[in-house]
Amino acid sequence: MVVRGNCSLVPAVPGVSENIHINGIIDRYLEHSRIFIFANGGEEKYYIGSADWMPRNLDNRIEVLAPVYDKEIQADLKRIVCYGFQDTAKGRIVDGMGTNQAWNFPFTPPLDEKTISPFRSQEKLYNEYKNTL
């Protein structure tokens, strides 16, 4: 999971969440993506949503979660999420103990072999998109 800041989900609990890794990013842009990629059994399913999955949003508001079927858009969404996991400049591991360690994930999604530390995901995305609009 790539979140803005902290997360109440406790990762790395054997039998429950051992395959969940969380990177919390606090950077220049307050708003963040609501991209969901579920890959249970290896078949990835992509969704975009309108809000954080918090009780105040899910219980008291009308929120939308929509599937994404277009393969090009799915690839773009996956790239955004991978950049979030690669963020070594503003990313911190949410470890469930409240320590928010500096970035040192046990894996790095292979995305761009030219990427070197420190990597700042928001800056990278801004620079990629600023000339496309």
What's the pTM value of the predicted model, to 2 decimals? 0.74
pLDDT at 111: 43
> Given CA atoms 58, 64, 69, 72 in this order, what sign does their dihedral have?
negative
Domain 2-129 of CATH type 3.90.230.10:
no
Domain regions of the chain by residue span: 2-129
Instruction: Give per-residue pLDDT as tens, 36-86.
Output: 888 878 889 999 988 777 778 778 888 888 999 999 999 999 998 888 888
User: Is the peptide bond preceding residue 118 cis, with omega within 30 degrees of 0?
Assistant: yes
pLDDT tens, residue by residue, 82-125: 888 888 878 777 776 666 666 555 444 444 445 456 788 889 99
